[in-house]
Structures are given as structure tokens and as C-alpha cells.
Structure 1
Amino acid sequence: MDGYSVFLALLAVYIAGLVAIGWYFNKKQKSVTDFWLAGRRIGPSALGFSAAASWLTAGGILAVIGYYMLQGMGSVWAFVAPNILALLIIALLVGKIKNLPAITQPELLEQRYGSAVRWPIALIITVVMILFAVADVTGLSLVLQVFYGLDPLYAAAIVAIAVSLYVTLGGLSAVVWTDVVQFAFLSIFTIAMAFAAVGTVADGGFGTPAISSSELFGNVPDVWWNPFSIGIPMVLIFVLAIVPGWITEQDPWQKVWAARDAKSARLGMIIGSLMITVVFAACAVIAIALNNIYPDIAGMGFPAGMALAEPALLAFVSERFASAPLLIALSAIGLAAASMSCADTFATSGASCISRDIYQRYIKPDATMKEMLVVNRISVLIIVLAATAGSFVIPNIIDAIHIATFIASASYFFPLMGGLYWKRATKEGAFAGMVLGFVVQVALVILDLVNTPPMASSYLETIHPALMSHGVIVGMGLSAIAFFGVSLMTKPSSRVNLAPFFEEEAEELARYETREISETDPSYSAFLKNIDENVAGERTHLQLNLRASGALSWHELVEKLKSSSPAWVTPTGLDSVYRLTHGDMLACVAVTRGSGEQDIWLKAEPKLETVGRQRKELFTAYEELKKVLGQKGVKLDFY
């Protein structure tokens, strides 16, 4: 069996294992929260593995090694340090993020500002996720091309088929637990390559003089170790350009929401940052050894040398293990795992924006869960195909990641973070900052790409150093001016929009309307037996699945609920209707469409100390729902 056949056999087994994980979690899904947020039950270890795997793409690792080879530790600010810093900053923000009642960032921004901002932010996030996925497709394409001489379309096909299968089966649960497997493959591969590269130098392989490990690391120039060799101004520009985009990425926020409690989310992000630090340290060791093996590459300098530095590890693996096709195949699987672990996250985040924030919110509010899964599956394929097309336009791996990050930083950093911490932020200000930042940043990126020769310094950077990173500082500056300026000139947000984000506003809005319910009431006792109740961290998940006896007009049902009591509100559109009785919207009862045409799901996620009251609240909501449907001659049954 030749090397390519070995690779295909291992890949088939690997993908089958991922699909099996997706199928397992498919059987456990009973609600929208189960699919998109893994039932909010993810513990810190799994979250840490997933957070690390989601930000370690195969292309990113190859590019980091290339940067290390050409620029040493001064290059950490272009990718490595922002990765670590962003996860640690998100850990600090967990307390604010975790208790927000949203599944996606567009849904969250609609709760904060209103419907005007949901569709543009959904489109922007989708574009950003596609650009991030470009790096995954490009990286895997490079691996398959160097190892087996395959066309880049093969990489897209592998990512599209594998990711669409297990993601659309198991949702975020599948993403998280396949990430655990994928990070294990990736980290083992990276650390093994560090030992292999150093061992090759020690043995005098590739025609190099044999030197000990201590001599290898002792001969590295002092400037290589200096993380500030690029200058403090450049360090600050990189941090300001990259970190805001990464701390506001949708995918880590979704994982914070999926954590079983705030402590698990915070610890998971810290674990993730430590894990990627270990992998990046192994990449530095590989780079030092490869500089000794391929001294001509380091001599070419940056950026001219990147064309050879990025695939240097692949060239080493091909040459070092030429007589061991199984080891090359395993290396390819390790890098494919890195590509899939990022692509599944980006595809999930982007597809949730298309299916939930655009299709269900604006096109078909009464879409069932089954319909949403179909749209989600198609959306995953669209994102991967778009990423494949993008890989031919943006062939540089890190540039694809940076462009996505800069668009995120310039478009929705201020509307999102400002909405969390500044009461005076308005929908007009958010819309203006978002759209202006997006348009300006995309224009600057196109201008830079069109006018920059291959492997040369960027066109904008040659005009002025402040315009480096595709002019993102300009894009962010204009977005900030529009956001703050327009917000101060327009009417403040309503209390309904502020309540989930600011405790004092929630206290003013609170309506405690739960009627007195006797614990001995037979109907209440029968009701309790049908509640699916699970404790996850600091909250209890209450889920009630109902089936109507006749066809449902979802739009009419929601409107009748809203007219029956002022407690029923739709802060994020008709797909979810909340019974807003207090400021903790996660604890409030929400009614959503079920998996079938006649299915209705009621859920609430109260804190442990209030679960008794919220059981009665759920019963009250059930009675009100039953009364509204009864007026149309429709009955409700438990299932």
C-alpha cells in the first residue's frame, strides 16, 4: 500500500470516529439550546481543549513556525501572543458574558439594541468566519500538496464532508468533543516534530554538522529571543489591531455560554491559553532546529522568505520520513485534525448566523428544528465552499486570519463591548459604527491586496507605519467615532433592552406575576412529572416538550401570547417569546418552536436557589399557553 492509500485509510477511520461522536450527541438533543450550546453543560477541561483547538489551525501552526524562523520571538505579536491574551481576557469577561440570554452574538445585539442591528452583524460575522476558514483550507491544501501532490480542491472536499457531517449531527456538543480528539492529535504531532527536528540536528542529519541540544539552543542569536525586537510601537499596533477582534469573536462566546457555570467557563479559557502556549513553545523549538537544517531560508529575511518558511516543516517531514509512509500519513492526519478543529468552529458560528439570525429571524420565523438543521447543513457547506474560493484569492495563511480579525475589530468591537458596559449606547450608534467600520476596513484590505506585490511589504505600510495591518487602526478609529458620536446624538435605549445587561435596570423592570400555586394541586403534580430537569453548575435546566393536537400558526400563537399578558415579550424576534418576570432572562420562561410542525418547547434556566419558584413559573406559562391554544380548539400533550 502506497503512502497516499495509507493516508486515505487513516482519514476514513478518523472521520468515521468524528461522525460517531456527532451521531451520539444527535440522540441527546431535546432543545435548541442542546444543539447550539451543548445544553450549557460543558465542563472546564473539555472547554479548554476546544478553546485551544479552535484557535490552532494547521495553516496557523505552519505560519507561526515560518515567522519564528525569520523573525524570532519578535513575531509573537502577529499571532501567538494575541491568541494567549485574548483567551485570558475572555476569562476576565466571563462574568458579564455568561449570564446573557443569547445563543449567538447577533441575537445578543438585538436584545441590546433592537432588530435593526441583527442582520448586519449576522452577515459580518458570517464573512469573518469564512475568512478564518480560508486559513484552514489553505493550510490543509498546503499539507496535501507537499505530501501527496494533490489539488487544493481535495482539501476543501475533506473539510466540507467531514465537518458538515458531524457538526450538523451533533451541534456544538460534537464540535467540543471532536475538538478534544483533534487537539490531542495536533499537540502530539507538534511535540513529536519538535523532538524529531532536534534529534535530526543532534544526529547530523540532512548533511548538517552534528551538534548537541545545548549547542543548538546556545547558538541562537540574542536578538532571536527578544520579544520586543520589532519595537514597542509595532507591538502596540499589533495588540490593538488583533486582540479586540479575537476577544469579540463569536465562537469563544458561544463556548462560554455552553459552559455549565461561570467558574467552568473562566477555568476553561485559562486552560485553553495554557494549552496553546505549550504548542507554540514546541513550534519555537521546531523553528530553531529548522533554521539549523535550512539556513538559507532564515537568510532570506521577512517577508521574502515566507514562501519557503511556511512549508518548511512539511518539507522536513517529507524528507525525514521518506521511507516511512505511515509516519507521513499520521503527520497529515495531525494537521488535518488542526484544520477541522478550527473549520468546525468557524462553520458552526457562521452557519448559526445564517440559519438562526437570518433564516429563522427574517425569512421563516416559524421554522421547526428539523428545518433549521437542514438550513444549518447547507450553511456549513456554503461557508466551506466560500472559504475554498477565498483560498485562491488570499493564499497567505496568516493574512487570511489577520484580514478576518481586522474586519471584526473595525466593525463590531465597539458596538458589542460598548453595549455590554455603556448604557448610553443606542441602536443608531451601533448600526453606524458597525457599518462604517466594516465598509472602511474592507475597502482598505482590497486597496492593500491589489497594490501589494507577492511576498513584499504591504502597500499601506509603505505609506505610513500607522497603516500597517491593512489600516485597521483607521477602520477602528472611524467605527469608534461613529458609535460614540451617533449614540450621544440619539434617543437612549429602552429599559427592556437594557435590563438583561444592567442589573439596576432589571430591578426597575421586574414583574413578579406568578400566581399562587399549591404544591398539592393534582394538575401541578402531574405537570412536574413531565419536566426534564438537569442541574448544570449554578443553574437548573428545566425543559418541557409539548405537542399540539392540531396545526400551529406560530406567528398567531406568539401574538396571542403577547396580547394575553404584558409579561410576554419578543426581544429577539418571533422565534423565541420570553415571559419577562424578572431581570435574569436566562431564568425567565422561553417558548420556542420544537422539532416538528406541532411541537412546542418551554424552557427556563434558573439558578439553584430559585428553581422552586421557576417550576411554578413554568407551570403558569404552560397554563397560559394552553389557554391561548384552547381558544382555537387545540390541545397540548406532553411527550
Structure 2
Amino acid sequence: MDGYNIFLIMLSVYIAGLVAIGWYFNNKQKSITDFWLAGRRIGPSALGFSAAASWLTAGGILAVIGYYMLQGMGSIWAFVAPNIISLLFLSVLVKKIKNLPAITQPELLEQRYGSIVRLPIALIITVVMILFSVSDITGLSLVLQTFYGLDPLYAAAIVAIAVSLYVTLGGLYAVIWTDTIQFSFLALFTIVMAFATVGTVANGGLNTSAISVSQLFGNVSGDWWNPFSIGLPMVLIFSFALIPGWITEQDPWQKVWAAKDEKSASAGMIIGALMITVIFAVCAVIAIALNDIYPEIAGMGYPAGMASAEPALLSFVSERFASAPVVVAFSAIGLAAASMSCTDTFSTSGASCISRDIYQRYIKPDATMKEMMLVNRASVLFIILAATVGSFIIPNILDAIQIATFIASSSYFFPLMGGLYWKRATKEGAFAGMVIGFIVQVALVALDLINTPPLATNYLESIHPILMGHGVIVGMSLSAIAFFGVSLITKPSSKVNLAPFFEEEAKELSRSETRKINEKDPEYSAFLKNLNEKVTGERAHLQLNLRTSENLSWQELTEKLKVVSPAWVTPTGLDSVYRLTHGDMLACVAVTRGTGERDIWLKAEPRLETLGTQKRELFTAYEELKNVFGQKNVKIDYI
């Protein structure tokens, strides 16, 4: 059996395993929170594996090895160090992020600023997620082309079929647990390759003379080991260009929201940072050995040598294991796992913006969960197809990652982080900062790509070092000026918008409207029997699934609820209605559409010490719903 057929068999078994995981978790989805946030039940280990896997692309691994070969440890600021620092930074931000009542960042920003920002931020995040996926498609294309001579479209087809199947079946549950498997494959692959490359040098092979391991590492120059060899100004520029974009990426925020508690979320981010540190350290070992095997590549210098340095590991595998097709197939599976583990995260984040923040928010506010999942499935395919097209336009692996990051940094870093911590931020300021940053950054990227010859220093960087990274410092600066300047000259945000982010504002706005309930009342007893209750960490997840006797008008329902009680508000549009009664908005009762046309879900996520009170409030909300439907002679029953 030839190597390609061995690869296809191994790939089929691998994908079948991933799909089985997706199918398993598909049967566990009982709510919108289950699909998009894995029921908020993920522990620190699984979160750490997923966080690490999501930031280790196949293309990223190859590019990092290439950078190490040409620039040594000084290259860590172009990708490696910002990855690690961003995850550690997120571990500190967990407390603020975890208690926000949102599923996506666009929904979060609408709660903070109003509807003016939700559509543009949803579109920007979708573009960013597509660009991140470009690097995965490009990386896997390079793998399959080097190993088996396949057309790049095959890489897109493999990723599209596998990811769209298990993600759309199992949602974020499937993403997190398949990420655990995929990271394990990638880690095993990189460690095996480190032993293989070093062993080849030590034993003498691929036209190298045998030298000891100590000689191999001893021959590396002192400058190679210096992480500040590129100079402190360049370190700062890289840090300011990349870290803000990665801190505010939507996908790790969704995983923070999916964690069972703050401690798990924080520990998960730290574990993820430690895991990718180990993998990047192993990549450095591989690069040192490859420089000995292919000394001509190091002599090319940067950036001219990147075209040869990026696929150097693939060339080594093809040459060293030409007579061992199983090893080549295993290598291809390991790198395919890295591509899928990142693409599933990026496509999930982008698809959630399309299905929840665009389709349900603006096109069909009363969309059911079933309809949302169909749109989500189509959105995953759209993102992967768009990334395939992008891979032919941006063939440089790391450039695709950095362009996506620069757009994120310039577009929504200040509106997002400013909204979390600065009360004076306004919707006009957020909109101005977002739009100006996005337009300027996209224009600078286009200008740079058009005017930069192949394998040459970027055009803008050749004008002045401050313009490196496609001029991201300029884009971020203009975004900041617009955000802070416009916010200071416009009317402050309303208390409804400030309530989810600043507890003192929520307390001023909150209402105590839970009526006294006789706990021996048969109706209350029946309610408790049908209430789904799960405890994870410091919170309980309460959900009541209801079905009406007739199809309902969602807009009419929300408007009548507001009449029944002024506590009912719609801070993010008609798709979610909150009963704002106290400062912890995540614990407040929310009403959303269920799976079918006649299904309604009531949910709340109270802290354990307020569980009894929140059950009574949920019952109050249920009776208010009954009252609204009773006016239309519509019956409402438990599912």
C-alpha cells in the first residue's frame, strides 16, 4: 500500500473519531448556552488544552521554526511571546469577563453601547476569523503538497468537511474536546520530530557529518539565543502590535465564558500558556537541528530565506522517512490536527457572529435554535471557503495571522477594553474608533501588500520602522484618538447599558419585584419538578423549557412583557429579554427562543448563595409569561 492511501485511511479514522465526539455532545445540548458555551461546565485542564490548540496552527508551527532558523530567539516577538503573554494576560482579566451576560463579543458591545456597534463589530470579527483560518488552510496545503503533491483545494476540502461536521453537531463542546485530542497529536508530532532531527545530526545523515548533541547546541552562536537581538524598540512595536489583538480575540473569551467558574477559567489560560511554551521550545530544538541539516537556508537570511525555511521540516520528513510512509502519514495527520484545532475555533467564533449577531439580531429576531444551527453550519462552510480564497491572495503563513491580528488591534481593542473599564465611553466613541481603525488598517495592509515585492522587506517598514506590521501602530493610534475624543464630547451611556459592566450602576437600576411565594403551592411544586438545574463552580444553571399551544409572535411577546413589568428590558435586541432585578445581570432571568416555533426557554445563572431567591424569581417570570399568553388565549406547558 502506498503512502497516500495509508494517509487517507488514517485520516478517515481520525475524522470519524472527531465526528463521533460531535455526535455524542449533540445529544447533550438542551439550551443555547450548551451549544455556544458548552453549558459553562468546562474545567481547567480541558480549557488549557483547547486554549493551547487554538493558538497553534500548522502554518504557525512551520513559520515559527522558519523564524527560529533565520533569526534565532529574537524572532519570538513576531509570534511566540505575544501568544504566551496574551493567554497570561487573559487569566488576569477573567474575573471581569466571566460575569458578563453575553455569548459573543458583538452582543457584549451592544449591551455596553447600543445597537449601533453590533453589526460592524460582527462583520469585523468575521473578517478577522477568516484571515486566521487562511493560515491554517495555507499550512495544511503546504503539508499535503510537499508530502503527496496534492492541490491546495484538497486541504480546504479536508478541513471544511471535518470541521463543519463535528462543530455543527456538537458546538463548543465538540471544539473543546476535539482540541484536546488534536493538541495531543500535535505535541507528540513535534516531540518526535525533535528527536528525529537531532538524532539525524548526531548519527550523520542527510549529508551531515555525525556530531554529538552537545556539539550541535554548542555550535549555536550567542546572538541566536538572545531574545532581544532585534532591539528593544522592535520588541515594543511587536508587543503593542500583536498582544492587544490577541487579548481581545473573541475565541478565547468564549472559552472563558464556557469555563465552570473563574478559577477554572484563569487556571485554563495559564495551563494553555505553559503548554504552548513547551511546544515552542521544542520547535527551537527542531530549528537548531534543521540549520545543521540545511545550512544553506540559514545563509539566505530574512526575509529571503522564509520561502525555504517554512517548509524545511516538511522537506526533512519527506527525505528522512521516504521509506517509512506510516511516519509521513502520521506527520501529515499531526499537522492536519493543528489546522483543524485552530480552524474549528475560528470558524465557530465567526459563525456565531453571522448566525447570532447578524442573522438573529437583524434578519430574523425570532429565529429558533434549530434555524440558528442551520445558519451556523452554513456559516462555518462560508468561512472556510472564504479562507481558501484568501490563501491564494496571502500565501505567507505568518503574514495572514499578523494581518488578522493587526485589524483586530486597530478596530476593537479600545472600544472593547475601554467599555469594560471606562464608564465615560460612549456608543459614538466606540463606533468612531472601530470604523476609523478598521478602515485605516485595511488601507495600510492593502498599500503594503501591493507595494512589497516578493520576499522583500515590507514597503511601509522600509519607510520607517514605526510603520512595521503594516502600520498597525498608526491604525491603533487613530482608533484610540477617535474613541477617547468622540466619547468625551458626546452624551454618556445610559444606566441600562452600564448595568452589566459596573455593579454600582446595576444596583441603582435594579428592581425588587419577586413576589412572595407559598412554597407549598402545587403550581410552584410542579414548576420545581420541571426546572432543569445544574451546578458548575460558583453558579447554578437554571432553565425552564416551555411550549405554547400556538405559534407565537416574538416581537409581540417582548413588548407585552415590558408592559407587565418595567423590569423586562432588551439591551441586545429582541432575541434576548432580560428581567433586570439586581446588579448581577448574569443571574437575572432571560427569555430566549427554543428549538421549535412554539418553544421558549427561561434561564438564569445565579450564584449558589442566591439560588433559592432566583428560583422564586424564575417562577415569577414564568407566571408573567402565562399572563401574557393568557391574554391571547394561548396555553403554555412544560416540555
Q: TM-score by structure 2 length?
A: 1.00
* Ranges in structure 2 where 5+ consecutive residues have no aligned partner: none
Instruction: Give me the whole-angstrom Cα distance separating, in 1, the residues matched to 2:26 and 2:577.
Output: 25
Q: CA deviation at 1:135?
A: 0.1
2:321 alignment partner in structure 1: 321
The amino acid that maps onto 1:237 is: I
The amino acid that maps onto 1:634 is: V
Instruction: Give me the whole-angstrom Cα distance separating, in 1, the residues matched to 2:569 and 2:174.
Output: 32
Instruction: Give me the whole-angstrom Cα distance separating, in 1, the residues matched to 2:168 and 2:281.
Output: 34
1:336 alignment partner in structure 2: 336
- Secondary structure of the residue aligned to 2:36 is helix
1:289 alignment partner in structure 2: 289
2:636 alignment partner in structure 1: 636
1:429 alignment partner in structure 2: 429
Instruction: Give me the whole-angstrom Cα distance separating, in 1, the residues matched to 2:43 and 2:120.
Output: 33
Question: Percent same amino acid at aligned positions?
Answer: 82
Q: How does 1:408-487 map to 2 (within 5 A)?
A: 408-487=408-487
Instruction: Give me the whole-angstrom Cα distance separating, in 1, the residues matched to 2:631 and 2:190.
Output: 64
The amino acid that maps onto 1:311 is: P
The amino acid that maps onto 1:399 is: D
1:18 alignment partner in structure 2: 18
Q: CA deviation at 1:633?
A: 1.0
Render the CA deviation track for 1:245-290: whole Å, top value 9, x for unaligned: 0000000000000000000000000000000000000000000000
Q: CA deviation at 1:447?
A: 0.1
- Secondary structure of the residue aligned to 1:96 is helix
Instruction: Give me the whole-angstrom Cα distance separating, in 2, the residues matched to 1:48 and 1:87.
Output: 10
1:352 alignment partner in structure 2: 352
Q: How does 1:156-167 map to 2 (within 5 A)?
A: 156-167=156-167
1:52 alignment partner in structure 2: 52
1:522 alignment partner in structure 2: 522
Q: CA deviation at 1:389?
A: 0.3
Q: How does 1:177-196 map to 2 (within 5 A)?
A: 177-196=177-196
Instruction: Give me the whole-angstrom Cα distance separating, in 1, the residues matched to 2:533 and 2:440.
Output: 48
1:155 alignment partner in structure 2: 155
1:223 alignment partner in structure 2: 223
Instruction: Give me the whole-angstrom Cα distance separating, in 2, the residues matched to 1:340 and 1:577.
Output: 35
Instruction: Give me the whole-angstrom Cα distance separating, in 1, the residues matched to 2:469 and 2:317.
Output: 32
Matched, 1:111 2:111: yes
Instruction: Give me the whole-angstrom Cα distance separating, in 1, the residues matched to 2:583 and 2:163.
Output: 38
Q: CA deviation at 1:207?
A: 1.7
Instruction: Give me the whole-angstrom Cα distance separating, in 2, the residues matched to 1:511 and 1:19.
Output: 46
Q: CA deviation at 1:472?
A: 0.2
Q: CA deviation at 1:507?
A: 1.6
2:386 alignment partner in structure 1: 386
Instruction: Give me the whole-angstrom Cα distance separating, in 2, the residues matched to 1:25 and 1:502.
Output: 35
Instruction: Give me the whole-angstrom Cα distance separating, in 1, the residues matched to 2:149 and 2:302.
Output: 27
2:101 alignment partner in structure 1: 101
Instruction: Give me the whole-angstrom Cα distance separating, in 2, the residues matched to 1:351 and 1:407.
Output: 18
- Secondary structure of the residue aligned to 1:206 is coil
Instruction: Give me the whole-angstrom Cα distance separating, in 2, the residues matched to 1:331 and 1:629.
Output: 60
Q: CA deviation at 1:520?
A: 1.1
1:554 alignment partner in structure 2: 554
The amino acid that maps onto 1:338 is: A
Q: How does 1:114-153 map to 2 (within 5 A)?
A: 114-153=114-153
- Secondary structure of the residue aligned to 1:327 is helix
2:269 alignment partner in structure 1: 269
1:531 alignment partner in structure 2: 531
Instruction: Give me the whole-angstrom Cα distance separating, in 2, the residues matched to 1:213 and 1:351.
Output: 48
Instruction: Give me the whole-angstrom Cα distance separating, in 2, the residues matched to 1:439 and 1:591.
Output: 37
Q: CA deviation at 1:630?
A: 1.0
Q: CA deviation at 1:11?
A: 0.6
Matched, 1:251 2:251: yes
- Secondary structure of the residue aligned to 2:632 is coil
The amino acid that maps onto 1:502 is: F
Instruction: Give me the whole-angstrom Cα distance separating, in 1, the residues matched to 2:214 and 2:609.
Output: 58
- Secondary structure of the residue aligned to 2:535 is strand
Instruction: Give me the whole-angstrom Cα distance separating, in 2, the residues matched to 1:312 and 1:473.
Output: 32
Q: CA deviation at 1:526?
A: 1.1
> What is the number of residues matched between the two proteins?
639
1:65 alignment partner in structure 2: 65
2:620 alignment partner in structure 1: 620
* Ranges in structure 1 where 5+ consecutive residues have no aligned partner: none
Instruction: Give me the whole-angstrom Cα distance separating, in 1, the residues matched to 2:453 and 2:581.
Output: 60
Q: CA deviation at 1:12?
A: 0.5
Render the CA deviation track for 1:399-437: whole Å, top value 9, x for unaligned: 000000000000000000000000000000000000000
Q: TM-score by structure 1 length?
A: 1.00
Q: CA deviation at 1:92?
A: 0.5
The root-mean-square deviation of aligned C-alpha atoms, in Å, is 0.5
1:86 alignment partner in structure 2: 86
- Secondary structure of the residue aligned to 1:468 is helix
The amino acid that maps onto 1:475 is: G
Instruction: Give me the whole-angstrom Cα distance separating, in 2, the residues matched to 1:468 and 1:5.
Output: 45
1:210 alignment partner in structure 2: 210
Render the CA deviation track for 1:561-585: whole Å, top value 9, x for unaligned: 1121100000001111011101111
Instruction: Give me the whole-angstrom Cα distance separating, in 2, the residues matched to 1:191 and 1:368.
Output: 46
Q: CA deviation at 1:512?
A: 1.1
| The 10-residue stretch of structure 1 (516-525 or 306-315) with the greater mean CA deviation from structure 2 | 516-525
1:584 alignment partner in structure 2: 584
1:36 alignment partner in structure 2: 36
The amino acid that maps onto 2:624 is: E
The amino acid that maps onto 1:582 is: H
Instruction: Give me the whole-angstrom Cα distance separating, in 2, the residues matched to 1:202 and 1:318.
Output: 19
Q: How does 1:302-317 map to 2 (within 5 A)?
A: 302-317=302-317
The amino acid that maps onto 2:557 is: L
Matched, 1:511 2:511: yes
The amino acid that maps onto 1:471 is: G
- Secondary structure of the residue aligned to 2:577 is strand
Instruction: Give me the whole-angstrom Cα distance separating, in 2, the residues matched to 1:428 and 1:154.
Output: 45
Instruction: Give me the whole-angstrom Cα distance separating, in 2, the residues matched to 1:617 and 1:214.
Output: 69
The amino acid that maps onto 1:269 is: M
Q: CA deviation at 1:396?
A: 0.1
2:170 alignment partner in structure 1: 170
The amino acid that maps onto 2:587 is: A
The amino acid that maps onto 2:549 is: S
Q: CA deviation at 1:586?
A: 0.8
Q: CA deviation at 1:503?
A: 1.5
Instruction: Give me the whole-angstrom Cα distance separating, in 1, the residues matched to 2:421 and 2:560.
Output: 34
The amino acid that maps onto 2:602 is: L
Q: CA deviation at 1:510?
A: 1.7
Q: CA deviation at 1:637?
A: 1.0
- Secondary structure of the residue aligned to 1:602 is strand
Instruction: Give me the whole-angstrom Cα distance separating, in 2, the residues matched to 1:555 and 1:337.
Output: 44
The amino acid that maps onto 1:630 is: G
1:497 alignment partner in structure 2: 497
Instruction: Give me the whole-angstrom Cα distance separating, in 2, the residues matched to 1:161 and 1:563.
Output: 48
- Secondary structure of the residue aligned to 1:597 is coil
The amino acid that maps onto 2:566 is: P
The amino acid that maps onto 1:83 is: N
Instruction: Give me the whole-angstrom Cα distance separating, in 1, the residues matched to 2:209 and 2:455.
Output: 31
The amino acid that maps onto 2:389 is: A
- Secondary structure of the residue aligned to 1:60 is helix
Q: CA deviation at 1:551?
A: 1.1
The amino acid that maps onto 2:50 is: S
The amino acid that maps onto 2:545 is: N
Instruction: Give me the whole-angstrom Cα distance separating, in 1, the residues matched to 2:569 and 2:164.
Output: 34
Runs of 4+ in structure 1 displaced over 4 angstroms? Answer: none
Q: CA deviation at 1:179?
A: 0.2
